[in-house]
Amino acid sequence: MNLFRGDAHKLYLKLKKTHEADIPFGELEEISEVTEVQSFYSDLDSNTLEKISYRMIKEKNGSGMIPIFVSTGPWLLFLFSDQLQEFIFTKGMTWGIVFAVAYIIVLTLSVILHFREKAWASFHIAIIEDILDSR
């Protein structure tokens, strides 16, 4: 079931189809995006690239605020659970359902955002390090 496969496997399958169809890999959006980023960073001097790399590392490590939010959110709700239950359940069950659905959506989107940000930062860091190593 490909639904639960990661992005790397989906890219592999796309590359395999492209290869079988005898289409150049450079025409794929994923590959052309990498080429574009590499080209941009290659035009910069090493000193600037090092500074960008440091900033990217900061961004990668700074995206840890979302897991803190995810792990502390339930504790905050637990602290105010009596007041929260009173508010939600005295207003009717629909408020409870709305609150639960909204809370789960916010947590889910936060986790997805966190891992996407870390992935993009790692992507840029790897490209910059490769360029600096080749110089």
The 10s digit of each residue's pLDDT in 64-117 is 666 676 777 777 777 677 777 777 777 677 777 777 788 888 888 888 888 888
Amino acid (one-letter) located at 81:
S
Q: Which of 80, 81, 70 is nearest to 109 (CA)?
A: 70
Amino acid at 77: L
pTM of this structure: 0.68
Do 105 and 58 meet the contact criterion of CB atoms below 8 Å apart?
no
108 alpha carbon, distance to own chain's centre: 12
CB-CB contact of 70 with 110 (8 Å): yes
Query: What does the pLDDT look like over 3-54, one tens digit per residue?
Result: 667 778 888 888 999 999 888 888 888 899 999 999 999 999 999 999 999 9
